Amino acid sequence: MNGVTISFDKSRTYINIMLNPSEFTSEVDMREVRKQLESGETKRLYVSEKSLKSACDTANHYFKTGDGTVVQERIGERKNAEVEFRLPENGMVANLVLTTPYGGKLPSLATVKSLAVKNRVVRGVSTKKIEAMLKAARNAAPGTVLEETIAKGLPARNGKNSKFVPLVPNALERVLRPQTNEGERVDMRNLGEVICVKVNTPVLRRTPPTKGRTGFDVKGNTIPAVQGEWIDFKMGTGTVVSDSDANLLMSSISGMPKYRDQIMNIDDTFICNGVNVGTGHINYEGAVLVNGDVTEKMQIKAAGDVTINGFVESAYIESGGDIIITEGAMGKVNDKQGDFQCRLVAAGSIHVQHGQGIDIQCSGDITVGRQLAYSRLRCGGAVIVGQIDKPMGNLFACDIISQDRIEAGTLGAVSGSTLKVDFSPGFNQLLERKDSLDELLRQIRENNLKHKEKIDLIQAKKIPKELQRKAAEALELFNNESALLEWLENKANDVKAAKEHYQADIKLIANKRLYPGVSAKLNNRNWRSEREYDRAKIHYDSHQWHYEPII
């Protein structure tokens, strides 16, 4: 271009432009100048658009007015890379901001590390991440801004509170975990010795709290850990703290141990060799252990666990804990009235090895060793038929209300006998809780908003001395209401999460086969098997039941 000269200064750091309007044949085009700058040695150097435009506009003005004054301007330069460190207030991370050079130098790894130290980034620095950033900068266009976290602190790990370790297993745990013989093979018939403890037997140990682990931030400051706390024993019945060890709980009576909700109870245990006409009904304020059968029309009522090492026939058993029947249970069913002659009612869980014609009600899980048929089940947990780790038992011809999964080897039977599973009652309870909480939350939220406006209005004005006490009381009431609102919001979130977990947990799992006549229900959403399936899972998702083969 005539009249346009682009050159370097003596140090070859700055770009100068000289525009001579007297040599122009037409107005200089800034775009043409830009093209010229994007070739040759100036290609990767920084060019100031503002300075270039100013020089071109001035020269064009002189050209139009016939003024031959030469315009000289510094329009660019060679820039080295720019390095900046960004640290948040807590100093737990440090970000490196690297602006790639315009024809200048890129810092070395050692230089970046040295600059990090000058910026008080001294701990948790990752050499690999800095090297990766420098490598990316070499291939990036000039002026590219790269940002990456190159240093991380270590948060302090607070100590854990003291824990409670039971030294004796619950009876139900023993039944669900059969013993191994000498060849390490599991013997399903060997359920171990009945767990009964004598006086002064250690039953629960308290472990000391841990100190935690100190941390540090990227500036090298130490972050102290909070030591765990000693948790006091929650004293159950039949237990006492050891005289020689304050962290050991001993049994003060002979009986059956039961550990639940961090409380160890020793239930005074009634032991008999069978329940029949000769012994009469049993009504006991403790645990009951029957080393024999329970015969027809007999009753057992206990405040603790009921363990029966035998068979139950058409009897009524009620427990304030778990019911464990190591053999089977069977009863007659009055088809016209729908009455079951054999009934098991427990506040905890129920385990039976096999059963038929039983009415089972419990708050926990129902576990069956081998097979359950022609029964009615109501439980607050899961129904598992077979070994607990891989259930392969049979479940058919039952009417079930559950709040968790139904899992067995075979669901239903070849005959097509119906197996009905209804998950609705537990879900509806959650919905009722959610609706009532949401309504209460809406009302308190509205009230809190109105009260906030009033409090803001009061605080904005000068309050007379005689009314300051009442204003302070009003503020305290408002703060209490706000705290209640926050607590309710957390509860509402918990119920919402529980509703989502409920829908995710309910399912039918057949580890061997699923026959026709098996149905699942959640309110007005139903699923029914019309054919035979191999290993299958029926689960609830997006307001629908879905069949999924198990591979």
Instruction: Convert 506-547 into a string of H (helix), E (strand) and C (coil).
Output: CEEEEEEEECCCEEEEECCEEEECCCCECCEEEEEECCEEEE
Residue 291 placed within a domain: yes
Q: What is the rounded radius of gyration, in angstroms, for the C-alpha atoms of the chain?
A: 40
* Same domain, yes or no: 205 and 140: no
CA distance 385 to 397: 14
Q: What are phi and psi of 127, to 5 degrees?
A: -65, -40
Domain termination site, one of 198, 233, 266: 266
**Both structure tokens of 155:** 């948060």
Alpha helix positions (H), 303-372: none
Residue 183 placed within a domain: no
Q: What is the largest CA-CA distance in the chain?
A: 132
CA distance 59 to 211: 76
Q: What are phi and psi of 91, to 5 degrees?
A: 65, 20
Q: What are phi and psi of 224, to 5 degrees?
A: -70, 150
Instruction: Report how many domains make up the chain.
Output: 5
* Same domain, yes or no: 378 and 487: no
Q: How many CB atoms lie within 10 A of CB 8?
A: 16
Q: How many CB atoms lie within 10 A of CB 43?
A: 11
Strands (E), 100-169: 145-152, 157-158, 164-166
Average pLDDT by consecutive 10-residue portion of the chain (551 residues)? Answer: 84 88 86 84 86 90 88 90 91 93 91 93 93 92 92 93 88 65 45 65 92 93 93 90 92 86 87 89 89 93 92 95 93 76 95 95 95 95 92 95 96 90 94 92 92 88 85 90 92 93 95 95 93 93 92 84
Under a CB-based contact definition with an 8 Å cutoff, are residues 379 and 358 in contact?
A: no
Residue 441 placed within a domain: yes
Q: How many CB atoms lie within 10 A of CB 421?
A: 25
The separation between CA 189 and the C-alpha centre of its own chain, rounded to angstroms, equals 38
* Same domain, yes or no: 346 and 408: yes
* Same domain, yes or no: 11 and 124: no
Under a CB-based contact definition with an 8 Å cutoff, are residues 419 and 519 in contact?
A: yes
Domain termination site, one of 21, 56, 77: 77
* Same domain, yes or no: 143 and 281: no
What does each C-alpha distance from 448 to 122, 460, 480, 487, 488 come to in angstroms? Answer: 48, 18, 10, 13, 13
* Same domain, yes or no: 360 and 309: yes
* Same domain, yes or no: 520 and 376: yes
* Same domain, yes or no: 402 and 537: yes
Sign of CA dihedral 484, 489, 493, 496: positive
* Same domain, yes or no: 126 and 230: no
Sign of CA dihedral 247, 253, 257, 261: negative
Q: Which domain holds residue 437?
A: 427-505
CA distance 109 to 357: 78
Under a CB-based contact definition with an 8 Å cutoff, are residues 33 and 16 in contact?
A: no
CA distance 52 to 29: 11
* Same domain, yes or no: 233 and 246: yes
* Same domain, yes or no: 101 and 234: no
Residue 182 placed within a domain: no
Under a CB-based contact definition with an 8 Å cutoff, are residues 395 and 421 in contact?
A: no
State the pLDDT at residue 109. Answer: 93
* Same domain, yes or no: 521 and 374: yes
CA distance 118 to 137: 22
Residues of 148-157 as b/e, b for ≥16 C-beta within 10 angstroms? eebbbbeebe
Domain termination site, one of 226, 246, 266: 266
Residue 446 placed within a domain: yes
Pairing assessment for the beta strands 358-362 and 82-86 based on DSSP bridges: unpaired
What does each C-alpha distance from 245 to 17, 162, 198, 236 come to in angstroms? Answer: 90, 15, 18, 18
Residue whose C-alpha is closest to residue 128's, from 111, 150, 154:
150
State the pLDDT at residue 337. Answer: 61
CA distance 206 to 216: 31
Residue whose C-alpha is closest to residue 212's, from 235, 228, 223, 234:
228
CA distance 306 to 320: 9
State the pLDDT at residue 192. Answer: 40
